[in-house]
Structure formats: structure tokens, C-alpha cells
């Protein structure tokens, strides 16, 4: 459009408050970034009892310059059970076991969609989804090439959320063999069923994925795996192990291509007899890769949906990044 044409547009807006048909003013994208890998959920406040209505959602948000926002997402509700799903990748080359993910994240599972509009004002992002749901976020630019959005409120119960955005194509992904072997710190917020007390509990804390540990092995092009012994006597991990049993965790990190990664882990003391593979209630954590403008891998956003039975197991949101 010529400068004269834009002058006409601006005069029209000034005089009438309306744009000519077919004309739209550009909206600043959050942090100047087009697409965001996002985790969102509802977690009962610490010290309170979950209601059973909590949920987690893993998504890609796409911000168009005309103010339209689109979302492709996977959703898990705590009041519904999600049996584990076996993915195509395996740990062949390590212990030759099948790898699982939360039901609904496997290849071919439904990807839901939302559409709405957004506005940005300074470091604030407001999203209005078609149908009336709203979200508010803060926007940060911690370094060139990546932006971060943090959820501050919603109209539908979501109270925890974090997203990382860039202008790299959403088809760009990093192969497991090329992921830097380092520590990716982060946070998690969860709702869980305490099998010992029979009560629903909630909490939040710091966590991470430590690929720098020497136990991590490249099983094959689609899988990394590690068996890590718990040596900290104060650790609360693997409390299901009986006295005298070695406390250790088996981890799998797998891919079938693209930004989706499959993270699974379980306590090895739960293996039955001489079996090398576990088919019980492992921790199932769907994840999306965080990638900056240069195509560098920066970590993951994810959820945990380890509840084959409604209101049991764990449902959570987390993010592990070096940003």
C-alpha cells in the first residue's frame, strides 16, 4: 500500500473510528514472536484439596499480525481417566522396552483447535477466545531470539501457565541426538492422589531434566534412556520401594519426529521378577520442544497426565528450559 493510501486509511479512522472494508491495522505480537509452545493448567492452591475438576493443556499458540490468535492443543481433565498409549519409538539398543505416553498424545490422537483475538499493551497480553473464554499474560524478552509469556489469570479456571515463543517455523524440530546434554531447570505444579492416605493433594516446586548425567545413553535415533540411583537419603522419590530395595529411576526420552517429545519414568523397584520392562503406572509427560529464532533447542514445556483412573495418579504442568 502506498503512503498516500495509508494516509487515507488513517484519516478515515480518525474521522469515523472505522477502517475501510478489507483493511486491518497490525497488532504487535507478544514479544515480537509469532508462535509459542505453551503449557496451561488448573492446579488447586497449595494446601487445598483438589476438586476433581482440574485439567492440563499442552498447546501451540499462533499470533497473526491482524490480531487473530489460533491454538492447536491437547487436553487432559482430571475427572476423566486416560489409559497410557504405546508410541512407535522404543528403547531398542538399551533395555528394548516399549515407551508410553499419556493417552491422547500419541500419533494420530485428536488435536483440538481454538481461535480468537488478542491485544498487547506494553508487557501485557490479553486473549479473547471465540466462545467467551479469556486469558491474561505477562510478556518478557529475556534475550534476543525468544520471548516468554506467563499466565496471570483466566476466566475458565486456568491458574498456571508458561509459554516460549520465537519466529522459527513450527515445522522445525531438534533431533534427540542433537539436544545439548545439560541440565534444564524448571518448575512444576501438580494435583495428585496420595495412595497412602487416599486423599487428593496439590503442590508446586522446582525440578528439571538433567541430561548431563553420565547414565543417559543414546539407545537409538529416537530414544535416550537412563537408570539413575537415588543416593540422597532425604529424597522422597520412590517411597513405594520396600525397605532394603534399591531406589532407582528409569527414564526414557523419545521422539517420533517433530516438536513432540515423550518423557516417561518409573521406579525400578516396581519391576516384577526378572522383567526388564515395566507396564504399570509410570509417570507420563507429553512435552513440546522450545526452540529460539536461530533454531537452537532451549528445553520443553509439558504436562503430566498419569491418571488411568479419574481423579487418581497425577495431573500437572511443567516447564524445563535454559532461558
Q: Which DSSP symbol is given to 221?
A: T
Q: What is the pLDDT of residues 245-292, one digit of tens each?
A: 999 999 999 999 999 999 999 999 999 888 889 988 999 999 999 999
Distance, CA of 180 to CA of 282 (rounded, Å): 26
Q: pLDDT tier at 25 (50, 70, 90 boundaries)?
A: low
Q: Is the pTM of this model over 0.75?
A: yes
CA nearest 37: which of 253, 257, 317, 264? 317
In the three-class reduction of DSSP (H, G, I as helix; E, B as strand; rest coil), residue 244 is classed as: coil
Q: pLDDT tier at 236 (50, 70, 90 boundaries)?
A: confident
Q: What is the pLDDT of residues 164-177, one digit of tens each?
A: 999 999 999 999 99
CB-based contact 122:110 (threshold 8 Å): no
Give, in order, the Cα–Cα distances in Å from 227 to each of 127, 163, 217, 249, 265.
42, 30, 9, 6, 9
Distance, CA of 282 to CA of 84 (rounded, Å): 9
Distance, CA of 158 to CA of 217 (rounded, Å): 37
Does 23 have pLDDT greater than 70? Answer: no
CB-based contact 119:70 (threshold 8 Å): no
Amino acid at each position: 500500500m502506498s503512503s498516500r493510501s495509508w494516509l487515507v486509511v488513517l484519516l478515515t479512522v480518525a474521522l469515523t473510528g472505522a477502517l475501510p472494508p478489507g483493511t486491518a491495522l497490525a497488532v504487535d505480537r507478544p514479544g515480537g514472536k509469532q508462535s509459542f509452545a505453551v503449557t496451561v493448567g488448573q492446579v488447586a492452591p497449595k494446601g487445598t484439596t483438589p476438586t476433581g475438576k482440574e485439567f492440563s493443556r499442552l498447546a501451540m499458540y499462533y499470533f497473526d499480525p491482524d490480531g487473530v490468535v489460533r491454538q492447536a492443543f491437547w487436553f487432559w481433565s482430571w475427572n476423566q481417566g486416560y489409559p497410557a498409549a504405546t508410541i512407535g519409538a522404543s528403547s531398542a539398543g538399551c533395555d528394548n522396552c516399549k515407551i508410553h505416553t499419556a493417552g491422547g498424545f500419541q500419533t494420530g490422537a485428536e488435536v483440538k483447535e481454538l481461535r480468537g483475538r488478542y491485544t498487547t499493551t506494553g508487557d501485557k497480553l490479553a486473549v479473547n477466545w471465540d466462545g467467551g473464554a479469556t486469558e491474561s499474560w505477562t510478556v518478557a524478552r529475556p534475550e534476543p531470539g525468544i520471548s516468554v509469556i506467563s499466565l496471570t489469570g483466566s476466566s475458565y479456571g486456568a491458574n498456571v501457565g508458561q509459554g516460549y515463543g520465537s519466529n522459527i517455523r513450527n515445522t522445525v524440530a531438534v533431533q534427540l541426538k542433537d539436544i545439548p546434554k545439560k541440565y534444564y531447570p524448571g518448575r512444576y505444579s501438580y494435583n495428585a492422589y496420595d495412595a497412602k492416605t487416599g486423599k487428593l493433594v496439590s503442590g508446586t516446586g522446582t525440578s528439571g531434566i538433567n541430561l548431563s548425567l553420565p547414565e543417559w545413553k543414546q539407545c537409538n535415533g529416537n530414544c535416550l534412556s537412563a537408570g539413575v540411583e537415588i543416593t540422597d537419603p532425604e529424597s522422597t522419590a520412590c517411597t513405594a520401594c520396600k525397605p532394603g530395595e534399591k531406589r532407582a529411576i528409569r527414564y526414557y526420552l523419545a521422539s517420533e519426529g517433530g516438536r513432540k517429545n515423550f518423557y516417561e519414568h518409573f521406579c525400578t523397584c516396581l519391576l516384577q521378577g526378572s522383567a526388564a520392562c515395566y507396564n504399570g503406572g509410570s509417570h507420563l509427560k507429553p512435552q513440546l520442544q522450545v526452540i529460539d529464532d536461530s533454531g537452537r533447542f532451549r528445553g520443553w514445556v509439558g504436562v503430566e497426565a498419569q491418571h488411568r483412573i479419574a481423579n487418581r495418579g497425577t495431573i500437572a504442568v511443567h516447564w524445563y528450559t535454559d532461558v
